[in-house]
Amino acid sequence: MKQSSTVINGQGLTIHRLHALSKQATQLTLSAEAAERVRQGRDIVERALAAGQPIYGATTGIGSQKSVAVSGDALANFSNRMIISESTDYPGEAYPSEVVRAALLILINNTASGATGVRPALVERLIELYAAGPLPIVRRDTSNGVADLTPLSQLSLGLLGISFEGSPAILKNSFSLAPKESVSLIDNNAFGLAHGALTLVEVEQLLRTFDLAAATSLEGFRGGITAHLAGAAGGFRGRGQARARESLLHHLTGSDLHRPETARFLQDPMSLRSITQVQGAAYEAWEWAQTQFENEINSTSDNPLVDLATDTLYSSSSMASMLPTVAMDTLRQTLAKAAQQSIERSLKVQSAPFTGLPVGLAAEGEADGGVVSTNLHYIASARLGTLLAAAAPVLLHYVGHMSDSVEDLTSLTPLSVAQTQTVIERAWELATVELAVGTWAIARRGIPSDCLGVGVRRVHQALLPLLPIGQEGQRVFQMSPIVQLVKSGHLLPTVQPT
């Protein structure tokens, strides 16, 4: 049976669709409209070449060599030479295959507007590479964010039928680029956008997990629920706070906390009372970041750009996009705050003056044991330190003049995404600590599972067998399986509250 194709038209590529398509090789097809735009764009470039019009990166060098003409015999293989020379293999970690595949998809989507002026044959070659299965090795931390020159050149080696020394070529037959096609392949931010898009999908699940952890803390603390109801918000404070509230209350559906006499205090500490404010800000930042990344993914970056309406090639700085970095920097700040408040809640839940339980949730009259004996609060403090160090904005970390001072702008989107990945890694661990401590407190109070909210009930049933309650000092507490369970998403509801 013939495999169905995914149609690419240059628009409508969301972070979630990109995430789904990055998992494995897929057959792609350009829409008929996109294919026609590609043909028209190349015709404009061919006419400009035939007329002897100077074209940056096609009939001239690039960067500081933009005034050096390329003509005659050199023109035929100049594009191939540019890709090979720009693909320097520097030691370091490679991007995961999902990021490489997502970047390749963004690159194909970038050509579908016709505004890059590449040949239909090159688009077909990109689609062939996408469906091949194996992908070229592409190094991380080699781009400053204003065009992913080195990563895209390393990816483009696969189009030429060559590879890094010692690695097999993915497409065995050779392929030559036509004038202008090399700059069109590398004058965009496909890798920064791909890595950022996949990161945003993970962040959404992380935020939902923090909602669940907060609900678990409220159950273990026996906190008040009225502060989290719509009437306590003081009006509409944005979709983010509404989403956080709906998510939190969903997890607490059926909980005894809805009974007025259950709350132990007239007013809980701020970390337990302001859950939807903190989480809401993070959701707002996430939604804004999603918009900025999807705007870029569905726009065209190249220099020069081809205007199909006027048959004109425009000198362009379309690859100098700032908003993805601004958005990712902002998101990282709100994630750090959410993680910080998560740890504050877990500390309150294990603190005797606040909970009315023995110190550190130890058994009554025991000199050791409980959460304190497992050092969870010390470990969490160390992990939070790493998280906060990575949370600082990077937009203004200026790299300096490059290419003889011609290129004097950087966005550092790849760095911002990488720092967000560090924050996420630690945030998963901190959310797990809150879930574990909250479950421990529920167990110490002897609360029956059917008195808990539906979301917390699921956590209680899954985590309780993994906690060393009553076995402290008898076996080493293994947190790794719990972290992996939390990251898997199995504790979250299949359908998100709306």
37 within domain boundaries? yes
Please say whether the beta carbons of 160 and 199 come within 8 A: no
435 and 313 inside one domain: yes
276 and 128 inside one domain: no
**pTM for this structure?**
0.95
179 and 305 inside one domain: no
Mean pLDDT, the chain, whole residue set: 93
Over the stretch 410-428, which tens digit does the pLDDT of each residue have?
A: 899 999 999 999 999 999 9
* C-alpha dist (Å) from residue 161 to 78, 84, 129: 16, 11, 10
pLDDT given at position 438: 97
* C-alpha dist (Å) from residue 297 to 112, 133, 286: 12, 23, 16
Last residue of a domain, one of 145, 165, 188: 188
> Which residues have a Cβ under 8 Å from the Cβ of 236 and sit 6 or more positions away?
242
Tell me the C-alpha distance between 417 and 200, whole Å: 9
Last residue of a domain, one of 141, 157, 188: 188
Q: What is the 3-state secondary structure (H, E, C) of the chain?
A: CCCCCEEECCCCCCHHHHHHHCCCCCCEEECHHHHHHHHHHHHHHHHHHHCCCCCCCCCECCHHHCCCECCCHHHHHHHHHHHHHHCCCCCCCECCHHHHHHHHHHHHHHHCCCCCCCCHHHHHHHHHHHHCCCCCCCECCCCCCCCCHHHHHHHHHHHHCCCCCCCCCCCCCCCCCCCCHHHHHHCCCHHHHHHHHHHHHHHHHHHHHHHHHHHHHHHHHCCCCHHHCHHHCCCCCCHHHHHHHHHHHHHCCCCHHHCHHHCCCCCCCHHHHCHHHHHHHHHHHHHHHHHHHHHHHCCCCCCCEEECCCCEEECCCCCCCCHHHHHHHHHHHHHHHHHHHHHHHHHHHCCHHHHCCCHHHCCCCCCCCHHHHCCHHHHHHHHHHHHHHHCCCCCCCCCCCECCCCECCCCCHHHHHHHHHHHHHHHHHHHHHHHHHHHHHHHHHCCCHHHCCHHHHHHHHHHHHHCCCCCCCCCCCCCHHHHHHHHHCCCCCCCCCC
CA 176 to centroid of chain Cα atoms: 34
Give the percent of the chain with pLDDT over 70: 96
368 and 266 inside one domain: yes
Over the stretch 144-196, which tens digit does the pLDDT of each residue have?
A: 999 999 999 999 999 999 988 777 889 988 899 999 999 999 999 999 999 99
67 and 214 inside one domain: no
pLDDT given at position 1: 39
199 and 170 inside one domain: no
Best CA proximity match to 244, nearest among 199, 289, 201, 210 = 210
420 and 459 inside one domain: yes
Tell me the C-alpha distance between 479 and 428, whole Å: 12
Phi, psi of 169 (to 5 degrees): -70, 140
Q: What is the CATH number of the domain that holds 413?
A: 1.20.200.10
Cis peptide before 151 (omega within 30 of 0): no
397 within domain boundaries? yes
* C-alpha dist (Å) from residue 78 to 57, 169, 251, 448: 9, 21, 60, 73
Over the stretch 449-472, which tens digit does the pLDDT of each residue have?
A: 999 999 999 999 999 999 999 888
Phi, psi of 147 (to 5 degrees): 80, 120
121 and 218 inside one domain: no
Amino acid symbol at 80: N
The answer to whether the Cα torsion of 33, 36, 189, 171 is positive or negative is positive
412 within domain boundaries? yes
Q: What is the CATH number of the domain that holds 47?
A: 1.10.275.10
Over the stretch 39-59, which tens digit does the pLDDT of each residue have?
A: 999 999 999 999 999 888 887
> Which residues have a Cβ under 8 Å from the Cβ of 397 and sit 6 or more positions away?
412, 415
158 within domain boundaries? yes
Per-residue pLDDT band for 496 (boundaries 50, 70, 90) equals low
Per-residue pLDDT band for 78 (boundaries 50, 70, 90) equals confident
493 within domain boundaries? no
More confident residue, 65 or 179: 179
261 within domain boundaries? yes
Tokens encoding 227:
């502060």
> Which residues have a Cβ under 8 Å from the Cβ of 17 and sit 6 or more positions away?
none
Per-residue pLDDT band for 404 (boundaries 50, 70, 90) equals low
User: Count of CB atoms within 10 A of residue 267's CB?
Assistant: 12
177 and 255 inside one domain: no
97 and 209 inside one domain: no
Domain that holds residue 13: 6-188
90 and 230 inside one domain: no
pLDDT given at position 8: 95
More confident residue, 385 or 76: 385
497 within domain boundaries? no
Tell me the C-alpha distance between 153 and 150, whole Å: 5
111 and 227 inside one domain: no
Last residue of a domain, one of 188, 210, 235: 188
Number of domains in the chain: 2
325 within domain boundaries? yes
